[in-house]
């Protein structure tokens, strides 16, 4: 039982930095290594811990997958999780248990234990990561990485060459100053720019007009993403007022 503590790892960082993508890559890579080693069975179990509701729902789905006694439907969430964890811990073959988007209520005792198992937790909360045996922060993108990410949504030829001209100066200004090197905001802005064919400099001007020229230094990612959405809404407002009016009524009714 003690050995399993060394197999608990957490990756943490900003929202949109790519934590879930890394977990998926780890799962695929381990599966390939197990297959090459000629081992007969390898299992990946994935649960979402973004809310306690999703956590409990995924555990009940695991109980069904593991063919546990159907009386588990009458168990409390805590007792159900304990039974699922015990069954996972007893599995004779290797497995990976991924906990995605863990929040501060998650404790190591909530996770399965077993000599054949490994635990990978993704979280935006360093306090959660520190509870695991090992933790690694995914840092913010560099400016060059951010510009590269910005370009990914742009149309390209079969050799991967971007088909539209991009001024590196405005591109770096956008990702560094306005979007603060946040991957999620960069992805959303990139998709808008590519879809609308908007020059990057024009996008920056629209940003400054809508934000009133306020600095985004130290803004949380939610504020920056909201600003990106505001640009899309601004286009709808100016391009088709009737559509905006309908959307406003739908939002009010909702």
Closest Cα to residue 179, out of 231, 228, 213? 228
Give the model's confidence band at 4: pLDDT under 50 very low, under 70 low, under 90 confident, else very high: very low
Rounded to two decimals, what is the model's pTM?
A: 0.63
What percent of the chain is modeled with pLDDT above 90? 43
CATH 3.40.50.2300 assigned to 2-138: no
Tokens of residue 246, six digits? 């309908």
Q: What angle do CA 182, 147, 26 make, to 5 degrees?
A: 65
Is 165's pLDDT higher than 70? no
Tokens of residue 33, six digits? 């290594």
pLDDT at site 34: 81
Domain boundaries, the chain: 2-138, 143-253
pLDDT at site 5: 41
Q: Which residues pair with 157 in a beta bridge?
A: none
pLDDT digit string, tens, across residues 202-240: 999 999 999 888 888 878 777 888 899 899 888 877 766
pLDDT at site 204: 94
User: What is the average pLDDT across 25-53?
Assistant: 87
Q: According to the per-residue pLDDT averaged within each range, which of 21-35, 45-59, 185-199, 240-254 is highest?
A: 45-59
Q: CA 46, 52, 58, 64 torsion: positive or negative?
A: positive
Is 3's pLDDT higher than 60? no
User: What is the average pLDDT across 139-157?
Assistant: 84
Contact 95, 117 (CB under 8 A): yes
Rounded-to-integer distance, Cα 5 and Cα 236, Å: 52
pLDDT at site 30: 84
Contact 184, 16 (CB under 8 A): yes
Closest Cα to residue 45, out of 111, 95, 83? 95
Q: According to the per-residue pLDDT averaged within each range, which of 36-45, 122-131, 133-142 is highest?
A: 122-131
pLDDT at site 103: 93
pLDDT at site 241: 67
């Amino acid at each position: 039982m003690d050995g399993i503590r060394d197999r608990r790892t957490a990756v943490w960082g900003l929202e949109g930095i790519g934590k879930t993508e890394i977990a998926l890559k780890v799962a695929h890579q381990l599966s390939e290594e197990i297959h090459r080693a000629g081992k007969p069975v390898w299992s990946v179990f994935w649960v979402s811990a973004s809310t306690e509701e999703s956590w409990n729902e995924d555990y009940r789905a695991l109980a069904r997958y593991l063919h546990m006694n159907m009386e588990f439907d009458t168990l409390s969430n805590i007792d159900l999780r304990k039974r699922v964890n015990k069954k996972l811990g007893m599995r004779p073959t290797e497995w990976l248990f991924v906990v995605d988007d863990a929040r501060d209520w998650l404790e190591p005792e909530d996770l399965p234990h077993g000599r054949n198992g490994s635990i990978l937790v993704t979280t935006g909360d360093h306090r959660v990561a520190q509870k695991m045996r090992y933790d690694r922060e995914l840092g913010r993108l560099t400016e060059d990485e951010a510009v590269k990410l910005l370009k990914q949504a742009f149309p390209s030829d079969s050799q991967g060459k971007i088909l539209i001209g991009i001024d590196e100066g405005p591109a770096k200004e956008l990702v560094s100053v306005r979007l603060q090197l946040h991957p999620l905001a960069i992805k959303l802005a990139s998709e808008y720019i590519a879809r609308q064919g908007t020059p990057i400099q024009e996008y920056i001007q629209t940003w400054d007009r809508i934000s009133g020229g306020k600095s985004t230094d130290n803004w949380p990612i939610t504020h920056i993403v909201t600003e990106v959405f505001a640009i899309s809404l601004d286009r709808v407002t100016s391009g088709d007022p009737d559509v905006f009016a309908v959307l406003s009524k739908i939002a009010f009714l909702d």
